[in-house]
Amino acid sequence: MTPITEVEGRRVALSNLEKVLYPESGFTKGELLHYYATTATALLPHLRDRAVSFLRYPDGPDGQHFFTKNVPPGTPDWVTTAEVPRSSADSPARMVVVQDLPSLVWAANLVTEFHTHQWLVRSPEEADRLVFDLDPGPPANVVHCCEVALWLRERLAADGIEAYPKTAGSKGLHLLAAVRGSSSERTSEYAKALAVEAERAMPRLVVHRMTKSLRPGKVFVDWSQNAARKTTATPYTLRARRAPLVSAPVTWEEVADCRSPGHLEFRADDVAPRLQDHGDLLAPLLDPGSAAPLP
């Protein structure tokens, strides 16, 4: 029988709690649910009011992966959903919006990565986030991403924009900034211009185009994540990788001091101590007063 738990007055069905999702470490589905429940105070503000795409991996990282964008069958009626615009030729999609702890636990039971847009469901025409996804092409690694991130930090600061780093939870690094007053199209244009500028400044290290033949040994500065239809891994989400790695916020000191990939690799059990020591390093992104206009 599927166990039922009560979360803030909502009944949530849980399943297969002993199932090992990450064979390398023996990390189970029950531990995944515990991770999300205990990290909710930091995670939920980054999910709230944003449509969520789920990258589901119910049989672990070695099993099938599939994106779920529309509201999944069987979604409880107390889970918030919203109509989300797509292209002008398509009707709106209806997607989940994770607003509270019961919804988070329900979604976590699906075994998922959480991915969110760079805009809020109440104002899809305005981007409130700027994102750069720094993706290293082997033999480049996250150490090289850190070098690029530091350059981008200074360049953004010159335009009055403060950037905050987090690990991708795989092999790269993400930079996020709070912005205001621009569309996703304008934000994408600005991000692309900075990616091109970074390539000109560091031609041996940076590429701004996705073309695979250009990427070995370089860091791809992916500016395209700013498109309205795109989503990026939400802060604190677990990733479907070989181990229960987390897309974890990091300090700029950690970025500057990174000398090997392992220095910026964080697992589920690393997050609680980091939150105790640092709080949510991305909390400034949630303050509307910190949002900067694009130049």
Please report the pLDDT score of residue 254 as a whole number: 98
Same domain, yes or no, for 260 and 161? yes
Same domain, yes or no, for 77 and 146? no
- 21 falls in which pLDDT band (50, 70, 90)? very high
pLDDT, average across residues 215-233: 96
DSSP string, the chain: ---EEEETTEEEE---TT-EEETTTTEEHHHHHHHHHHHHHHHHHHHTTSEEEEEE-TT-TTS--EEE-SPPTT--TTS-EEEE---TTSPPEEEEE--SHHHHHHHHTT-EEEEE-SS-TT-TTSEEEEEEEEEEPTT--HHHHHHHHHHHHHHHHHTT---EEEE-SSSSEEEEEEEEEE-HHHHHHHHHHHHHHHHHHSTTTEE-S--GGG-TTSEEEE-GGGSTT--EEPTT-B-SSSS-BB--B--HHHHHH--SGGGG--BHHHHHHHHHHH--TTGGGG-GGG-EE--
Is 164 domain-assigned?
yes
Same domain, yes or no, for 60 and 157? no
Given a cut of 90, whether residue 1 has pLDDT beyond it is: no
Is 198 domain-assigned?
yes
Instruction: For residues 275 and 52, give the distance between their C-alpha atoms in angstroms, rounded to a whole number.
Output: 23
Please report the pLDDT score of residue 87 as a whole number: 65
Instruction: For residues 240 and 23, give the distance between their C-alpha atoms in angstroms, rounded to a whole number.
Output: 12
223, two tokens: 């500016």
Same domain, yes or no, for 109 and 179? no
Instruction: Name the domain boundary from 77, 93, 116.
Output: 116
Which domain covers residue 49, as residue numbers? 4-116
Q: Between the CA of residue 95 and those of 34, 55, 66, 220, 254, what are the distances in Å?
A: 25, 13, 16, 30, 36
Instruction: Name the domain boundary from 116, 149, 168.
Output: 116
Domain tally, the chain? 2
Q: What is the pTM of this model?
A: 0.95
Same domain, yes or no, for 184 and 41? no
Same domain, yes or no, for 203 and 141? yes
pLDDT, average across residues 75-99: 88
Same domain, yes or no, for 82 and 218? no
Is 268 domain-assigned?
yes
Digit-coded pLDDT (tens) for 160-218: 999 999 999 989 999 999 999 999 999 999 999 999 999 999 999 999 998 888 889 99
Is 185 domain-assigned?
yes
Digit-coded pLDDT (tens) for 230-282: 999 999 999 999 999 999 999 999 999 999 999 999 999 999 999 999 999 99
Same domain, yes or no, for 245 and 269? yes
Same domain, yes or no, for 207 and 237? yes
Digit-coded pLDDT (tens) for 110-168: 999 999 999 999 999 999 999 999 999 999 999 999 999 999 999 999 999 999 999 99
Least confident of 80-84, 88-92, 180-184: 88-92
Q: Give the residue among 152, 176, 143 at the shortest CA–CA distance from 247.
A: 176
Is 121 domain-assigned?
no
Query: φ and ψ at 195, to 5 degrees?
Result: -65, -40
CATH number at residue 225: 3.30.70.3300
Instruction: Name the domain boundary from 116, 143, 167.
Output: 116
Residues sharing a CB contact under 8 Å with residue 69, sequence separation 6 or more, in sequence order: 53, 54, 93, 95
Please report the pLDDT score of residue 280 as a whole number: 98
Instruction: For residues 293 and 99, give the distance between their C-alpha atoms in angstroms, rounded to a whole number.
Output: 27
Same domain, yes or no, for 82 and 137? no
Same domain, yes or no, for 107 and 134? no
Please report the pLDDT score of residue 89 as a whole number: 59
Same domain, yes or no, for 24 and 99? yes
Given a cut of 70, whether residue 51 has pLDDT beyond it is: yes
Is 54 domain-assigned?
yes
